[in-house]
Amino acid sequence: MSLFKRWAIILRLYALPASVVPITISGVYSYKRGWFNWFDFLMILFAGIFLHLGANLLNTYYDYINGVDQKDSDDIAIVKGFISKENAFKLSILLLLIASVIGLFLVFKYSLYSFLYIATFGFFLAIFYTAGPFSFKYRALGEIVIFLCFGPLIVSGSVMIMAKKFISESIILSIPSSFLIVNILLANNIRDDKSDTERGIKTIVDIIGVEKAKKLYILLLIISYIVSFFIVDFSLSLIVLFFSSFPAINLFKLLKKNDYKNLVRKTAEFVGVFGVLFSVSLFLL
């Protein structure tokens, strides 16, 4: 296995659209309103990526020590020996610290101290997603945490840095991509429902069942499109977003075939495709 592939598994790079897409959407939205600054945008992007990768590694660490990850799991970084649990923990802390330093730099540069409320809450959710004593992921709260972190918090925070003030409209702006990002976790939990139950992990799929979870997946996908239509005010730029319907249809096919392993990766890819096309739609408004 190549070094790049090994690190792609360790850091779960396939899920990177979950952090890149909402920040990109925030950047396009800010550009259209005259707030955009390349330096601020790149700082936010780097901070978001480091936070995401750090949280991924921390999740890997706690899943391993809690006995969640086995050799048949999707997250095999530690169980297959690609990285030691000690190094996974240390690297996660380093990445989270880098994200924190970038965030604090922007706060003090622009005296945006109110941004600290958003950032602190986001860090709290990211760290205690699997870490005790809260362990939100194991208490069927994973989807809610993912929605908040990769939706309202990251989008409103990104827009706030560029606008130098809180913009309430950014909450609505975050909904389309955040629901799709939630679907990455939902697909993952559908795939792992049996093993999660055996290991005492409670997820929303465990509560409502696989079939209802599949319907929820479809509902979130549809709502993402509906909200997007309203955001772009049913303008001609919707034509661009139409092209995302082709990979969306493929997701329906995977659901129908119960191909949950591919559904997780394809949902992450779809977040990237949808994010790019939605950003272009916003730009063309």
- Each domain of the chain, given as residue ranges in start order, spans 3-284
pLDDT, position 247? 95
Cα–Cα distances in Å, from 284 out to 24, 29, 238? 15, 11, 9
DSSP 139: B
Long-range contact set of residues 104-107: C-beta below 8 Å, sequence gap at least 24: 105/43, 106/40, 106/43, 106/44, 106/47, 106/161
Q: Which residues pair with 202 in a beta bridge?
A: 139
Comparing 49-53, 67-71, 144-148, which segment has the lowest mean pLDDT? 67-71
Comparing 14-23, 121-130, 190-199, which segment has the lowest mean pLDDT? 190-199
pLDDT, position 285? 87
Dump pLDDT digits (tens) for 52-75: 999 999 999 998 888 776 665 667
For residue 133, cis peptide bond before it (omega within 30 degrees of 0): yes
Q: What is the mean pLDDT of residues 210-239?
A: 94
pLDDT, position 66? 83
Q: What is the mean pLDDT of residues 121-138?
A: 92
Q: What is the mean pLDDT of residues 272-278?
A: 97
Q: What is the mean pLDDT of residues 90-100?
A: 97
Q: Which is higher by pLDDT, 1 or 52?
A: 52
Angle, to 10 degrees, between the axis of helix 169-191 and the axis of helix 210-231? 160
Question: Is residue 138 scored above 70 in pLDDT?
Answer: yes
Q: How confident is the model at residue 129 (pLDDT cuts 50, 70, 90)?
A: very high
Q: What is the mean pLDDT of residues 61-90?
A: 84
Residue 121, C-beta contacts closer than 8 angstroms, at least 6 positions apart: 148, 153
pLDDT, position 207? 94
| Percentage of residues of the chain with pLDDT beyond 90 | 84
pLDDT, position 73? 63
Q: Which residues pair with 139 in a beta bridge?
A: 202
Mean pLDDT of the chain: 93
Query: CATH code for 3-284?
Result: 1.10.600
pLDDT, position 284? 93
Largest CA distance in the chain: 52
| Percentage of residues of the chain with pLDDT beyond 70 | 98
Q: How confident is the model at residue 201 (pLDDT cuts 50, 70, 90)?
A: confident
pLDDT, position 41? 98
